[in-house]
Structure 1
Amino acid sequence: MAGPAGRLDAVLVCGGRWHDFDHARLRLLELLAEQPRVRTTVYQDYDCLDALDRADLLVTYTCDVRPRPAQRAALARFVERGGRWLALHGTNAVIEPSTGAGPREFTTPRLLGDLAQVLGSQFLAHPPIEPYQVKVTRPDHPLVAGIEPFTVTDELYVCELHGELEVLLHAEYTGPCRGFAEGDTAALDNAPRPVLYLKPHGRGEVCYFTLGHCRGRYDMQDLGVADTGRVDMGPWQTLEFLTVLRRCVRRMADMP
């Protein structure tokens, strides 16, 4: 519920591995700052239970940030009591790189527990980063109204899905995701890959947007790459992504 004078308290969790969290954090704070009712506190992980208990809104942009059992329970309670959670990109990802000899392979252990049911998905794999088309599943929905199919350069997420999702944007991919232990998942079915969806839980709602990849030159050092030699801004330079993301933030801030 909104506080005095309609103030809304937001928690932004932005951190993890293999992405440019400085860039994502800045851009998300800019979007939140466009909403005059919202006041935001920022964390790198889910060690923010006191703030979460008081929050109206939650925005997460993470990769391989693993909430502990008490944190998973608090996140579920937040949505159950009516909180709105905008989850971006790798929020649903738990990823383990192989440590043995030979080609590197990533596994995606199911360590989110019941939180995967709240989020509606858990990341399994993605094909190589390259341009792909995002299609509009529900052109009548306000979050995507007027958006035409668009091309974006990002990680096309193949996920394990949970519960009934209201899919608003999707992509299509059938093929291997090399380098992931479950990378054949996308070769075994031709189901659409949700890109943006809504998932109710209790009195609240999760809005999940799988787009958002960005990476700086020095973000892969824990994998032995000192300097990637390039900066990847991915969809953060794509007008349609930014338009829909702004609408998602505005929708969160329109709560009573």
Structure 2
Amino acid sequence: MKQVLSVSTGFFHPPFAARRIVDRVLTAVARIQLSHARSLNSIGGLDMSRFAALVLYYHRDHLALDALEAFERFVQNGGGVLAIHSATASFKGQTRYFDILGGEFAGHGPVEPFTIEPALADDPLFGGIGAFSVTDELYIHDLRPDMTVHFTATYAGEPQPIVWTRTVGRGRVCYVVPGHRTATMRQPQMQEILRRGVKWIIGD
């Protein structure tokens, strides 16, 4: 059994009901035991060697230095990260945090329908999940290099990464853009992306 720490908070952004759905989806994944924390700042005082991965689903302003350093050590030493939606819009100015996630929020359009399309012809991680539509916020990011983009959506005529993975040190990171609306997280394709993403970051 692998221990996964879900760091998640919010009533409206992200929605409480959406966070509950994510918890249910991940709890049902075999060989995972999910624990919970309300703030990433709490990991500065935890023994993070107990955990195989972190799930980040929040919109927060302040990240303490000891928590940032614990986060960096965790990933560099092989810990996994599944980050969802506004995790990349949190902790503005914390370059080291975004260097791990792979992108920093730069803006978004209105909440509107868009189509999410596979980016790879033969995707070993998300293969079989076809194109699907959501009504959500389509985030635009300032991106770091060295990532694999698995899904894209078009914004202002340009393809934007919607799901990406990357490695940092010995750790694995998966980021998923949608998550502004509860209805998005109810969609079976989104839930399958979360399931496969968390299994990949823990090495299953």
> Could you state the TM-score of these two structures normalised by the residue count of structure 2?
0.89
Cross-structure match for 2:43: 48
Cross-structure match for 1:194: 161
Cross-structure match for 2:146: 164
The 8 Å contact of residues 166 and 172 in structure 2, kept in 1 or not, is answered as yes
Cross-structure match for 1:239: 188
Partner Cα distance (2:90, 2:55) in 1? 18
Runs of 4+ in 1 over 4 A off after TM superposition: none
Label 1:11 to 1:43 Cα distance change in 2 as closer, same or farther (>3 A): same
RMSD (CA atoms)? 2.0
Cross-structure match for 2:27: 33
Deviation (angstroms), 1:170: 0.8
C-alpha deviations, 1:192-222, integer Å up to 9, x for none?
A: 21100011100111101111112xxxxxxxx
Range with bigger deviation, 233-242 or 152-161 = 233-242
- From 70, 75, 89, the counterpart of 2:71: 75
Where 1:117 maps in the other structure, the secondary structure is: helix
The 8 Å contact of residues 83 and 203 in structure 1, kept in 2 or not, is answered as yes
Label 1:56 to 1:9 Cα distance change in 2 as closer, same or farther (>3 A): same
> Could you state the TM-score of these two structures normalised by the residue count of structure 1?
0.72
Deviation (angstroms), 1:54: 2.4
Cross-structure match for 2:197: 248
- From 1, 7, 14, the counterpart of 1:13: 7
* Structure 1 gap ranges (5+): 1-6, 96-109, 175-189, 215-232
Deviation (angstroms), 1:66: 3.1
Cross-structure match for 1:64: 60
The 8 Å contact of residues 57 and 86 in structure 2, kept in 1 or not, is answered as yes
Aligned length: 202
Partner Cα distance (1:242, 1:71) in 2? 29
Partner Cα distance (1:167, 1:22) in 2? 28
Q: Which is richer in helix?
A: 2
C-alpha deviations, 1:23-77, integer Å up to 9, x for none?
A: 2332222122223422221011111331534211111111134322221111111
Identity within the alignment, %: 29
C-alpha deviations, 1:157-207, integer Å up to 9, x for none?
A: 011111221000011112xxxxxxxxxxxxxxx652110001110011110
Where 2:56 maps in the other structure, the secondary structure is: strand
Where 1:170 maps in the other structure, the secondary structure is: strand
* Structure having the higher Rg: 1
The 8 Å contact of residues 15 and 61 in structure 1, kept in 2 or not, is answered as yes
C-alpha deviations, 1:131-156, integer Å up to 9, x for none?
A: 01111101412332122222111100
